Amino acid sequence: MQPSDGGYPLTGPTYPTGAVRPLQIPVQTQHAVGVAPPGHTYIMPEVNPLTPPPADLQLIRVSKPWKIYGRMLGTVIVATFLAQLIFMVPYGAALNNPYLSICGGVCAAPFVFLLTFFRRPKLVHLQRAVADDNGTNVHRLAMGGSLQTPSKTRFAHHIVRDDSLLDTPPSKTAWMVFAGLLVITTFLTGLYFTSDTGAIIAILLFIIIGIPAWLLGFSIPVVAWWSWCTRRLGLHTRQREAESWLVAGMLSAIPALTINSMIFPIIAGIFFSDYIVQLLMPVISAPFGEEICKGLFVLAFASSIDTPKRGFQVGFTVGLGFAMLENLIYILSSTFGGPIAFTLTALLRGIGSIPGHAFWTGLTGTGLGWYLMKRKAGDRQNVQILNEMDEKPEDQQLEWKLLDPKSGEFVGSESPEQAVVAPATELLGEFRLPLLEPYTVQHNEARIPIPKHPLIGLILAISGHAFWNGTLTVIELIGIAADLSDGEIIALSLLWSGLLVCGVLLLGREIIRSVIASPDSI
């Protein structure tokens, strides 16, 4: 029995025992979907092998902005335990206690695995059916089952990495959640002072909402600032890259913790008393140790930084990651102090310390972005010059003219006698004349200058950090010297903290305006 010219169904009829089995027709002979003659069975084709995805492939997915929030929470909790346990390794070595070091290393291993598991690459199995007159109507799917199309199609499937763009929750929504949390805790604070019964009710209610309040208090402001920065800069950012910057900021807390808690106290203890060491830690150890560690982790992403805006974005995100881990510890400690301590700590750190860390490290990233942009532009210019040299006669020398970096005009006349002659051999290697670099005048709306070198950015970051911590320390010392009560010192510190927060917000607004106005190329 021969098949007809049409296609065949996926299943055929059953036959009693002893009946003549129908002829099985290979799929290669099928070209259309139709009605198979009675007694025929359709044989599924083999699964096509995996192929590389096309270059113009674009994936579309449903927006789930709050999904990244859950991933961020899980990552920072794991990173916090990891930082504390890894710190035990050098701390045990400093105390000459190998058991403490071994215990810290062994206990840290599961958290390293969890962090690696959370950061594993996200792969997408993409299956496509493209219209093709030379194709077929039925295809076997790689994961089981089949696909039947009304017209002839060509089936292909690929394994691609999920390079979806960063999708963060709207900053307004995050701030509304944070504000609602503060309203609730403020209400509990007022209830606490009404009466003894009110105090008991307030404490019981705060115990009930303690864990959710802690989770929202240390994390929601980070989400809000992250979303604000991403949307203001308007840069196309892959989610996996942005998450890597955030995790890098969390991991930068490990060496910073080692410097602040062990290295600096040991070195400073040689020259100063314990009291002086405690005073110098927030002014010297924290600014230098934390900003240098964060800056080194920003430098680790130098390959993806090509402009000041991208450098600022990377630095800002790294700073947010560091602040998130630090905020977790501060907010957790304040939670045990009741609704009053929680409200004040969450408010000051949410709108002050968190953006402070982000903007300070953002300055370091901005300086790195400027430097890398100039360097890459100079490399491209050198390559162009070398290519032009290859087209010239070997006995011809290049004539260079000095360029005034302030005016952008050539120095001297057009005569060869006053021109600076450089042999072609000097253009090889890393040699580059600074005065011959491209010079352009940028007309932008920048209100304050931004760093154009990573060292300058790092110095500004350390200075801002030291000013924040140092002035608060000075306020406390002034209160002690003036014989003020503890309540008066706290009130004075809160007042100054409010002024610092306002200063950070105003300065940060001007910084990001100048960053947005910075050029994308030279």
Q: What is the 3-state secondary structure (H, E, C) of 152-187?
A: EEEEEEEEEECCCECCCCCHHHHHHHHHHHHHHHHH
> What was the pLDDT predicted at 458?
96
pLDDT tens column, 437-458: 333 334 446 678 899 999 999 9
Strand partners, 131: 153
CA–CA separation, 361 vs 291, rounded Å?
A: 7
Is 225 in contact with 354 (CB distance < 8 Å)?
yes
Domain ranges, ordered by start, for the chain: 1-43, 67-121, 123-161, 172-376+449-516
Strand (E) positions, 367-419? Answer: 398-400
Is 346 in contact with 189 (CB distance < 8 Å)?
no
Q: Are strands 146-161 and 398-400 parallel, antiparallel or unpaired?
A: unpaired
What are the backbone angles phi and psi of residue 296, rounded to the nearest 5°?
A: -65, -35
**Which residue matches tokens 């110095």?**
459
To 5 degrees, how large is the angle CA 327–CA 333–CA 337?
130
pLDDT tens column, 330-386: 998 888 888 888 999 999 899 989 999 999 999 999 999 999 998 887 766 666 665
Query: Residue 234, SS3?
Result: coil
> What was the pLDDT predicted at 144?
76
Closest CA to 342 of 471, 485, 197, 187: 187
- Tell me the residue type at 80: T
CA–CA separation, 33 vs 379, rounded Å?
A: 60
- Tell me the residue type at 467: F
pLDDT tens column, 368-384: 999 999 888 776 666 66
> What was the pLDDT predicted at 192?
84
Q: Read out DSSP for 265-298?
A: HHHHHTTS-HHHHHHHIIIIIHHHHHHHHHHHHH
CA–CA separation, 157 vs 372, rounded Å?
A: 39
Q: Which two tokens stand for residue 417?
A: 């006698």
Q: What are the residue ranges in the chain where pLDDT is below 50? A: 1-34, 392, 394-401, 403, 405-406, 408, 410-444
- Tell me the residue type at 68: I
What are the backbone angles phi and psi of residue 208, rounded to the nearest 5°?
A: -65, -45
Is 301 in contact with 316 (CB distance < 8 Å)?
no
**pTM for this prediction:** 0.77
- Tell me the residue type at 140: R
> What was the pLDDT predicted at 39?
66
CA–CA separation, 159 vs 357, rounded Å?
A: 39
Query: Residue 190, SS3?
Result: helix
> What was the pLDDT predicted at 387?
61
CA–CA separation, 348 vs 499, rounded Å?
A: 11
> What was the pLDDT predicted at 59?
73
CA 106 to chain centre: 29
CA–CA separation, 378 vs 208, rounded Å?
A: 61
Q: How would you write 198-215 as a 3-class SS string?
A: HHHHHHHHHHHHHHHHHH
Closest CA to 331 of 214, 223, 497, 179: 214
CA–CA separation, 26 vs 22, rounded Å?
A: 13
> What was the pLDDT predicted at 438?
37
Q: Read out DSSP for 43-80?
A: PPPPPPPP-PPPTT--------TTHHHHHHHHHHHHHH
> What was the pLDDT predicted at 413?
44
Residues whose CB falls within 8 Å of the CB of residue 489, separated by 6 or more in sequence, listed in order: 475, 476, 479, 480
> What was the pLDDT predicted at 335?
87
> What was the pLDDT predicted at 424?
34
CA–CA separation, 361 vs 457, rounded Å?
A: 8
**Which residue matches tokens 């089952």?**
145
Closest CA to 177 of 334, 313, 65, 336: 65
Contacts 24+ apart (CB under 8 A), 51-59: 51/156, 51/157, 51/158, 52/158, 53/126, 53/158, 53/160, 57/126, 57/158, 57/160, 59/124, 59/126, 59/160, 59/162, 59/163, 59/164
CA–CA separation, 491 vs 485, rounded Å?
A: 10
> What was the pLDDT predicted at 441?
38
